[in-house]
Chains A and B, each alone.
Chain A
Amino acid sequence: MSLVAHEELKQDAPILSGPAESRDFPDCFRDQQRAAWRQFEILPKPTRKDQAWRFANVGLLDLTPFKFGGALRDDERTAILEQSRGLEDVAGRMIFAGDQLIERDVISDQLKKRGVIFQSLERAMVEHSDLFRRHFMSQPAILGSAKFAALHQALVSSGTFLYVPRGVEVELPIEIFHWLNGENASVFPHLLLVTDELAKVTVIEHFRSVDRCLPGFACGVNDLIAGPGAKVTYVCAQNWGENVVALQMNSTTVDHDASAMSLNLHLGSRYSRFESLSRLMGEGGRSDLLAVSIAKAQQEFDARTLQDHISPHTASDLLYKNALDNRARSIFGGLIRVEPHAHFADAYQKVRNLLLSDDAEANSMPGLEILADNVRCTHGATSGQINEDELFYLRTRGIPVPAAQRLVVAGFLNEVIQRLDHPTIADHLRQTIEDKFANK
Chain B
Amino acid sequence: MKELNTDKLRIAIADQEIVRGLTLRVPRGEVHALMGPNGSGKSTLAKVLAGHPDYQVTGGKITMDGEDLLELEPDERARRGLFMAFQYPSEIPGVTIANFLRAALQSRLPEGEELEATDYYAKLYEKMELLGMDRSFTSRAVNEGFSGGEKKRTEILQLAMLEPKYAVLDETDSGLDIDALKTVAHGVNSLRGPNLGILLITHYQRLLNYIVPDHVHVMVAGRIVRSGRKELALELEERGYDWARDGAVEPAFR
Seen from chain A, the residues whose Cβ lies within 8 Å of a Cβ on chain B are 387, 389-390, 392-401, 403-404, 407-408, 410-415, 418
Question: Which residues of the partner chain B approach A404 to less than 8 Å between Cβ atoms?
Answer: 75
* Of listed A390, A399, A403, residue having the most chain B CB within 10 A: A399
Report the separation of the CA atoms of residues A410 and B96 in the bound assembly, to the nearest whole angstrom.
Answer: 10
| A393 neighbours in B (Cβ, 8 Å) | 86, 89-90, 92
Q: For window 20-73 of chain B, which residues contact chain A by CB distance below 8 Å?
A: 50-53, 73
Point out residues on B near A: beta carbons under 8 Å: 50-53, 73-75, 77-79, 83-84, 86, 89-95, 99-100, 103-104, 107-108, 141, 158, 162
B52 touches A394 (CB 8 A): no
Name the contact of B107 in the complex, choosing from A392, A403, A415 (C-beta under 8 A).
A403
Please name the residue on chain B nearest to A412 by beta carbon.
B94
Q: Do A403 and B53 contact each other (CB < 8 Å), given the known contacts A396-B75, A411-B141, A412-B93?
A: no
* Interface-central residue, B78, B90, B91, B94, by most chain A CB under 10 Å: B94
Bound-state CA distance A394–B53 (Å) is 14
Evaluate contact between B92 and A408: CB separation under 8 angstroms.
yes
Minimal beta-carbon separation of A332 from chain B (angstroms): 20
Q: In the complex, which residues of chain A have a beta carbon less than 8 angstroms from the beta carbon of B79?
A: 398
Instruction: Determine if B107 and A399 form an interchain contact, defined as CB atoms under 8 angstroms apart.
Output: yes
Given known A393-B90, A397-B100, contact A411–B95 (CB-CB < 8 A): yes
Beyond A407-B95, A408-B92, A413-B94, whether A399 also contacts B103 by CB under 8 A is yes
CA distance A387 to B107 in the complex (A): 21
Nearest residue (CB) in B for A417 is B94
A397-B104, A413-B94 known, 19 other contacts, Cβ within 8 Å? A387-B90, A390-B90, A390-B92, A392-B50, A395-B74, A396-B86, A397-B100, A397-B103, A399-B75, A399-B103, A399-B107, A403-B103, A410-B94, A410-B95, A411-B141, A412-B94, A414-B95, A415-B93, A415-B94
**Chain A residues near B103 (CB-CB < 8 A):** 394, 397, 399, 403, 407
Residues of A within 8 A of B141 (CB): 411
5 CB contacts below 8 A, A to B, read A395-B75, A396-B84, A397-B107, A399-B75, A400-B107
Q: In the bound complex, what is the Cα–Cα distance between A407 and B142 (angstroms)?
A: 12
Q: Hey, which chain A residues are within 8 Å of B77, CB to CB? A: 396
Q: B-side binding surface: helix, strand, loop or mixed?
A: mixed
- Complex Cα gap A412–B142 (Å): 12
- Take A396-B50, A399-B103 as given contacts and tell me if A411 and B94 are in contact as well, using a CB distance cutoff of 8 Å: yes
CB nearest to B168 among chain A residues: A396
Give the interface centre of B53, B78, B89, B108 by most chain A CB atoms within 10 Å. B78
Q: Across the interface, do A399 and B104 meet the contact criterion of CB distance under 8 Å? A: yes
B107: chain A residues at CB < 8 Å are 397-400, 403
**Closest A residue to B93 using CB positions:** A411
Contact flag A392-B94 (CB < 8 Å), given A397-B78, A399-B75, A403-B103: no
Q: How far is the CA of A395 from the CA of B52 in the complex (A)?
A: 10
* Closest 5 pairs (CB-CB, A-B): A411-B94, A411-B95, A414-B94, A398-B78, A393-B90
Contact of B74 among A392, A410, A418 (CB under 8 A): A392
Given contacts A397-B104, A397-B162, A399-B103, contact A392 B92 (CB under 8 A): no
- By a CB distance below 8 angstroms, the chain A residues around B74 are 392, 395-396
Cβ-neighbour of B100 out of A387, A389, A395, A407 (below 8 A): A407
Q: How far is the CA of A53 from the CA of B86 in the complex (A)?
A: 48
Residues on A with C-beta less than 8 A from B52 are 392
**Contact among A401, A403, A407 with B92 in the assembled complex (CB-CB below 8 Å):** A407
A392 to B46, CA, bound (A): 13
Contact of A396 among B51, B91, B92, B100 (CB under 8 A): B51
**Alpha-carbon gap, A413 to B92, bound state (A):** 12
Chain A minimum-CB-distance residue to B78? A398
What residues of chain A lie closer than 8 Å to B162, measured between beta carbons? Answer: 397-398
Complexed CA–CA distance, A410 and B50 (Å): 25
A397-B100, A398-B79, A403-B103 known; A389 and B90 CB under 8 Å? yes
Pick the contact of A408 from B95, B104, B158 — CB < 8 Å? Answer: B95
CB atoms of B94 and A396 under 8 A apart: no
A406, closest chain B residue (CB): B103
Distance A395 CA – B92 CA, assembled complex (angstroms): 12
Complex interface: chain A residues within 8 A of B92 (CB): 390, 393-394, 407-408, 411
Min C-beta distance of B92 to chain A, whole Å:
5
A399 cross-chain contacts in B, Cβ below 8 A: 75, 103-104, 107
- For the complex, what is the distance from the CA of A350 to the CA of B94, rounded to whole Å? 16
B104 touches which of A389, A390, A398 (Cβ 8 Å):
A398
CB of A210 to closest CB in B, whole Å: 29
Query: A290 vs B86: C-alpha distance in the bound complex, in angstroms?
Result: 35
Whole-angstrom distance between the Cβ of B86 and the nearest chain A Cβ? 7
Q: How far is the CB of B43 from chain A (nearest CB, A)?
A: 14
Q: How far is the CA of A400 from the CA of B79 in the complex (A)?
A: 10
B99:A407 contact, CB within 8 angstroms = yes
Contact A418 B104 (CB under 8 A): no
- Closest-by-CB residue of B relative to A397 is B104
A395 neighbours in B (Cβ, 8 Å) = 51, 73-75, 78
Q: Could you tell me the distance in whole angstroms from the C-beta of B226 to the nearest C-beta in chain A?
A: 29
Nearest CB in chain B to that of A400: its residue: B75
Q: In the assembly, what is the distance between CA of A407 and CA of B94, in Å?
A: 9
In the bound assembly, the distance between CA atoms of A432 and B89 in angstroms comes to 30
